[in-house]
Structure 1
Amino acid sequence: MTAVTTTGEPSGREGRPACPTGPCPLPGARHRGDSGSAPGSAAPPPVRVRRRAAEVETPRAALLAGELAPLADFLSFGTNDLTQLTFGFSRDDVEARLMPHYLAHDLLPADPFATLDAPGVGELARLTTRDAKAASPATEVSVCGEHGGDPASIAWFDRYGLDDVSCSPSRILVARLAAAQAALGAQDPDRDR
C-alpha cells in the first residue's frame, strides 16, 4: 500500500486529488486488512485512498470474507493464485508438464488456470461472495486474473453475484461480450431449466 499511496503523491501536490485504488494483497489476518500494511511496517504517507480493498488470493482469505468485507469497499479475487493454492499446484510446473496429461486422461475437465474450477475454486468464490455481502451488503466483489477474460468463467461469476471482472487488454472485447451475454442470460426465465 505504501507504493500505491506514494505513487499518488505527485498528483496530490499539483493540486489534483490523489485517490489511488488498489487491493491489499494477502489479507490473511484482520490486522492486515485494518491497516493496509503488514505489521511493523512504516505508515504510508498521508494520501487519501478513495476505496479500500482486499485481494482474495488464498483459501484462508476466502474463508475470512465475512471479517474482511466490513473493512473494505471491495474484495478482488486473484484467481490465478487462488487456483494454485487451492489445487496445491505450481502453475509454472503443472501447465507445461502435467496439464496436458491431466486433460488427455480426463483427470480434470478443463485447465483450471484458463476456466474456473467451479467445484473447488468456484465454491470458494461463491462462499466468499455470500459471506462478504452478508457481512457488508455494499461491498463489491470482483475478479482479476485470467478467469476475468474467460467466457465460461464470466458466466459463472455473473450467476453467483460477483460485481465485475478485470482482464488483460487483449481479452477485453471477449470479456465485454461474455458479460453482456451473461447479463442477458440472467434475464431469461428458462435459464435454469
Structure 2
Amino acid sequence: SKTVEQRVRALNKLLPMQKQDFKGIFEVMGELPVTIRLLDPPLHEFLPQDDEDIKAIAKEMFIPVEELRATITSLHEFNPMMGHRGCRLAVSYPEIAQMQTRAIMEAAIEVSQEKGISIVPEIMIPLVGEIKELKYVKEVVVKTCEEVIAEKGASIKYMVGTMIEIPRAALTADEIAAEAEFFSFGTNDLTQMTFGFSRDDAGKFLDDYYNKKIYEFDPFARLDQKGVGKLVKMAVELGRKTRPDIKLGICGEHGGDPSSIKFCHDTGLNYVSCSPFRVPIARLAAAQAAILAKQA
C-alpha cells in the first residue's frame, strides 16, 4: 500500500483474523500469563517470490504485475535481520501496531467476558534499541488499548514490555525499564548481534571453530555466559534498579537448554520460554536449578 488509508483498509481486513487467533490463545490459556509479540519479521517475508503467486496476487489486488514486482524489489534487504523489522516497522507504520493491539485487546475482553475469567494481556514490543523508540511505539499501543477499553466499557488490565535483543538495549536497560513493565531477553538475536554472525550462516564455519577448540559449544544452542550472559546480567541489574518489580524472562532456543536455564535462575529471571517440545526438559532443568540454589 502506498498510503496510510490503503494500509488501514487492508489491516481492517486482517483484524478479525488476528482477533480470532488471539481469542483461541486466550481461551486455551485461561488466566495463565500470555505475552504477545507485535510484528517482528521484515515485510518482504510475507510477500510472494514465485512468478505464478505474484501474478495471482496482482490480479486479486487489481494492480499491474510489474507494480507488485517493483514493490517486492523495493522491500528487499541485504541484511534483513538487522533491517526494517520489529519496532522499526511500528515507527514507520504505526497503523500495524494499532491493528494488532486492537486485536489483542478485543480478544482478551471478549474471552474474559465469555468465560468469566481475568485476563491480563502482555504486549511485547520487539527489537528496541533506544528509549525514544519504545516510548513512541508504547504511546501508540497504550492509546489503542484505552480506546478499546472505552469502546467496550470494560475493566481490564494490560502490560506493555519489550524484548532485549540488541546489545544497546541491554546497556541502557535502566532507561528502557522506565517505560517497560517487563523484559523478555530474545537470546537468539542477542547472540547473533553480540557475536556478529548470523545464525543462518554460522553453520558454514562453526565446525572449524569446534575442531580447533576455539568454541566448545554452539552459542545458539547453549547461552554464552561470558559475553551474552554478561549483557543479560547487566540488563537485569539496571532494569531492577529502575523498576524493582520488573518481570524478566528469556525466549528462544536457550530456554530449553539445561545449563542456560540454570544461568537464568542464578541471574534472577522469573521464567524461561521455549519451543513446546523442549518444555519437559525446561521444567526439569528449572526444578534442578532451584534445588541446587537451595542447597548452596
TM range (shorter): 0.7 to 0.9
Name the aligned partner's letter for residue 4 of structure 1.
Answer: Q
Residue 239 of structure 2: aligned partner: 132
* Mean CA deviation greater in 168-177 or 103-112: 103-112
1:52 match = 160
Residue identity opposite 1:31 in structure 2: K
Aligned-residue RMSD, C-alpha: 2.3
Whole-Å Cα distance in 2 between the matches of residues 6 and 57 of structure 1? 25
For 1:89, the equivalent position in structure 2 comes to: 197
Q: Note the C-alpha offset of 1:151.
A: 0.3
Matched residue SS, 2:222: coil
Superposed CA deviations along residues 90-138 of structure 1, whole A, max 9, x for unmatched, are 110102x111111121111210000000110000001110111111110
Alignment partner of 2:292: what SS? helix
- Residue aligning to 1:75: 183
Give the 5 Å matches for 1:111-130: 111-130=218-237
- Considering Cα pairs closer than 8 Å and 6+ residues apart, tell me whether 1 or 2 has the greater RCO: 1
Confirm or deny that 1:33 pairs with 2:134: yes
2:104 is aligned with 1:8? yes
Unaligned runs of 5+ in 2: 1-37, 39-96, 150-156
Once the 2 structures are TM-superposed, how far is the Cα of residue 7 of structure 1 from its aligned partner? 1.9
Among residues 175, 178, 183, which one is paired with 2:290 in the alignment?
A: 183
State how far apart, in whole Å, the 1-side matches of 2:206 and 2:166 are.
Answer: 21
Q: Deviations over 1:123-180 (max 9, x none)?
A: 0001110111111110011100011110000001111111111000000000000000
Q: Output the TM-score relative to the length of structure 1.
A: 0.87
1:62-115 deviation digits (Å, cap 9, x = unpaired): 1111011121221010000000000000110102x1111111211112100000
Structure 1 outlier segments of 4+, above 6 Å: none
Q: Does the CA-based 8 Å contact 1:114-1:146 persist in structure 2?
A: yes
Percent identity of the aligned residues? 40
Q: Is the 8 A contact 1:4 1:22 kept in 2?
A: no
- TM-superposed deviation, 1:27: 1.7
Structure 1 pair 14/112, CA: closer, same or farther in 2 (3 Å)? closer
CA positional deviation for 1:13: 5.8
Q: How does 1:165-176 map to 2 (within 5 A)?
A: 165-176=272-283
**Structure-1 separation of matches of 2:193 and 2:139:** 21
- Number of matched pairs: 186
Bigger fraction of residues in helix: 2
Query: Which sections of structure 1, spanning at least 5 residues, go unmatched?
Result: none
1:98 is matched with 205
Partner residue of 2:215? 108
Q: Distance in 2 between matches of 1:31 and 1:6?
A: 22
